[in-house]
Every structure is written in C-alpha cells, then in structure tokens.
Amino acid sequence: MKKSDIICPNCNAGYRRVELASGARSTGEFRCLLCDHVLEVFDGTVEVAIRLTVQPEKTFQGLNN
Ligand SMILES: [Zn+2]
C-alpha cells in the first residue's frame, strides 16, 4: 500500500492518497471536494482512495485583523 499526500494547488485543501492492491481499478478523475479542481486523473492501473484530511482556511475573513 503506497501512501502520499496531495495538496490542492487551487484552495490548499489537503488529501491523503492511498494506492490499494485489491485488484479493483480506479478510472476517471478525482476533483477537489471544495473547489472542483482536478487533482488526479486515474488511468485504471491501480485502485486509489483519496480522502480529505485538511480543510483550507475558510475563516480567512474572520481572522483578518
Ligand atoms: Zn481545491
């Protein structure tokens, strides 16, 4: 199982990406859950699970002092 981290270049959301050796195949693409930026296009060679780990700073305005 191969793990890596992905940071969305558009909104800085953090994702954990895990390659699974289950025999299943992921195809299509994974888009950022928050801004819809395409983070990865799956070519069907591995099964990949990606989950959100770090929410981007959405309190930006509130902390702007
Ligand atoms: Zn994003």
Q: Burial letters for 10-45: b for 16+ Cβ neighbours within 10 Å, e otherwise?
A: ebebebebeeeeeeeebeeebebbeeeeebeeeeee
Tell me if 65 is assigned to some domain: no
What's the gap in Å between 55 CA and the centre of ligand 1? 9
- Measured distance CA(41)–CA(44) in Å, rounded: 9
What's the gap in Å between 11 CA and the centre of ligand 1? 4
Tell me if 34 is assigned to some domain: yes
Tell me if 48 is assigned to some domain: yes
What's the gap in Å between 5 CA and the centre of ligand 1? 14
Tell me if 60 is assigned to some domain: no
| Tally of domains within the chain | 1
Tell me if 63 is assigned to some domain: no
What's the gap in Å between 54 CA and the centre of ligand 1? 11
Tell me if 64 is assigned to some domain: no
What's the gap in Å between 43 CA and the centre of ligand 1? 21
Global pTM exceeds 0.85? no
Tell me if 59 is assigned to some domain: no
Instruction: Render each residue's pLDDT in the chain as its tens digit; 65 residues.
Output: 899 999 999 999 999 999 998 778 889 999 999 999 999 999 998 899 999 999 887 655 555 44
Which residues constitute the domain of residue 41? Answer: 2-54
